[in-house]
Amino acid sequence: MGDVLDQSDIDALLAAVDSAEVEELPGQLRIFSKRHRDPNTTEVKNYDFKRPERVSKDQMRALHTLHESFGRNLGASLSGFLRTIVEVRVATCEQMTYAEFISGLPNPTSFNLVNATGLEGQMCLEVSPLIIYPIIDRLLGGTTQDLFIPQRPMTLIETRIIYNVTKRALTALSEAWSSIRNVTFDVSTTESNPQLVQIVPPNEVVVVISFEMKMSTRAGTMNLCIPFNVIEPVMEHLSSQSWFSAARNTKGGDTERIITGSLGRAALEIRGVLAETTITLQDMLQLSVGDIVMTEKKATKPAVLCVEGVKKYLVSVGQYKGKRAIKVVCPASPSDRD
């Protein structure tokens, strides 16, 4: 019982620590584990319990790739809508707490609450005023050259105008998410002050995808905030292996039908070749009506049907309903000669 400390010994130790009389000895790192681990060879990482990482790096990469496709589709849609080149690219993709996300947003801004069919909870789509007002000015016929960005909430007319842009963004987002799950997004509420909206507790983990939008000489940001409880049901589909395999499975069906339908309406040049031969330039210049050109091919042999200059079929020449026609006999082989 000689190693047991009494209360006076404990108070003396605590007083020594408070007065900084006890110095921490270097190299006293100990790792408590089921197996013995050497502190000198084991990598130790700091972990912040206030910011838990609930989404793996593999799933974050899948989200980054998924929303890169969304950015390309949105840029193409807005370019046609605004009649000018609009570039949308993913700037960052990270996870943080909802309080950190809200604290980094400007006030006022365009803060939209988004509902997703088939998923529980709400998402947030925030668009910076630095790009909203140039888009409104462009839609109303302005040049956005000397545009002043007002520091005020949007009016009802401006909110209605920018809703057309938000609707196109959500349509492109639905197309990007279709590789994981068929989801339809729609705006439920629009606010100007993000501090007044709390869709999840402040310490809840959210995934924030930040986009950079460029239109001529103007640029701004757009942030998509996805709470963890919203995407938790589809987390198993966000691993790179299952996500890319799903993309490969859908590629064979839908893409093939789209390409086949588009190519089916393409026009092709079809030409029937009776025979081919070579003559000198002098003989060609002396040709006149009634002259006969001899070939090595017999008149009873089938002609060749060429599609865009490529030999495809052997055909016989005749008439059909009083018009000249050719009838396909068999496919042409490389050894067939004209």
Q: pLDDT-based confidence at 225, cuts 50/70/90?
A: very high
**Rounded CA gap, 113 and 281, in Å?**
78
pLDDT at 49: 62
Find tokens 């507790």 and name the residue: 201
Q: What's the one-letter identity of residue 132?
A: I
Residue 224 has pLDDT above 60, yes or no: yes
Q: How many Cβ atoms sit within 10 Å of the Cβ of residue 141? A: 6
Residue-wise pLDDT for 113-162, tens only, equals 999 888 888 899 999 989 999 998 888 888 777 788 888 888 899 889 88
Instruction: Calculate mean pLDDT across residues 36-49.
Output: 71
Buried b (16+ CB within 10 A) or exposed e, 148-160: eeeeeebeeebbe
Q: Measuring CA to CA, which residue among 178, 176, 218, 225 is closest to residue 87?
A: 218
Q: Tell me if 91 sits within 8 A of 108, measured CB to CB.
A: no
Quick one: which H or E segment has residue 88?
strand 86-97
Q: Which range has the worst mean pLDDT, 128-132, 147-151, 250-254, 285-289? A: 250-254
Domain 57-257: give its CATH superfamily: CheC-like (3.40.1550.10)
Quote the Cα angle for 294-299-300, to 5°. Answer: 160
Domain boundaries, the chain: 57-257, 269-277+299-338
Residue 277 has pLDDT above 90, yes or no: no
